[in-house]
Chain A
Amino acid sequence: RKEVEQDPGPFNVPEGATVAFNCTYSNSASQSFFWYRQDCRKEPKLLMSVYSSGNEDGRFTAQLNRASQYISLLIRDSKLSDSATYLCVVNGGGSYIPTFGRGTSLIVHP
C-alpha cells in the first residue's frame, strides 16, 4: 500500500462548481500535512498547510481527519485558473522526508 494515496482523476467540473479531493495516508504518526499545486510543465508550489483545526484561504478549505487518516481539499466557486494537479504531502512520523501523493488532476471548463 502506497504511503500517500490520491484519486488521480481527472475531475472535470464547470466553472462555479464546488469540488473536493481526499488524500489518505498510512503512517498514523505523521505530523504535518500540505497541499501543493502543480501547473502543467511547472514546478509544484505550496497551496496551503493543513492544520488540525482545519484552515481556510479564500475559496480553499483544508481539513485533517487524524482518526481516519485523511486530509481533504475543498474548492468553492471553481475558476478556469484552478485547473491544475493538486499534490498531497505528508511529513514526519519518524521520517524527515516528505512523502508526496501522485496528485489529483482538476479540469475546470467554461
Chain B
Amino acid sequence: NAGVTQTPKFRVLKTGQSMTLLCAQDMNHEYMYWYRQDPGMGLRLIHYSVGEGTTAKGEVPDGYNVSRLKKQNFLLGLESAAPSQTSVYFCASSSTGTSAYNEQFFGPGTRLTVL
C-alpha cells in the first residue's frame, strides 16, 4: 500500500517548455487534488476531481490543465511553463469531500523550477 505517489520528485524546465506531473493513489479514493505551495502563501488549490472523468477549477487554475482518465491517477499539465510556476506541487486524495472523516492524504511533492 503505497498511498499517494508523485512523479517526478524534482524537475527543472526552461520557460515555454511543457511537462506533466503524475499523481497516483492506491486507496480507491474518489476525490483527488492538486495544490501548489509557495513561501508565505500556504497551500493553494489548482484543480480537483470528485471522480473518474471529472475535473474542476480551484483557486489558481490558470496555466494548468488536468485529466482524470482513471480513478487512481490525476495528471497535472503545464503547457507553456513560466517562472511564476516555480513552486512545490502536492497531490492529495480523500475518500469523500464533506465527511468528518475525509482525511486528505498527500504525496511527497514535486519541486519544480522554471528558468
Contact = CB atoms under 8 A, between A and B. Distances in A.
Partners in one complex: yes
A101 B33 CA distance: 16
A57 to B, nearest CB: 14
Interface in A39-90: 41-46, 49, 51, 87, 89
B98 A32 contact: yes
B113 interface: no
A32 B99 contact: yes
Contacts of B58: 97
A2 to B, nearest CB: 9
A66 B33 CA distance: 27
Nearest to B99: A32
A96 B97 contact: yes
Interface residues of B, number: 25
A31 B99 CA distance: 8
Contacts of A92: 98
B95 interface: no
B31 A100 contact: no
Nearest to B109: A43
Contact of A103 (B42, B90, B102): B42
B90 A43 contact: yes
B102 A32 contact: yes
B106 interface: yes
B97 A43 contact: no
Nearest to B91: A43
B2 interface: no
Contacts of A95: 97
Interface of A: 8, 31-32, 34, 36, 41-46, 49, 51, 87, 89, 91-92, 95-98, 100-103
7 contacts: A43-B108, A49-B103, A95-B97, A97-B33, A98-B102, A102-B41, A102-B42
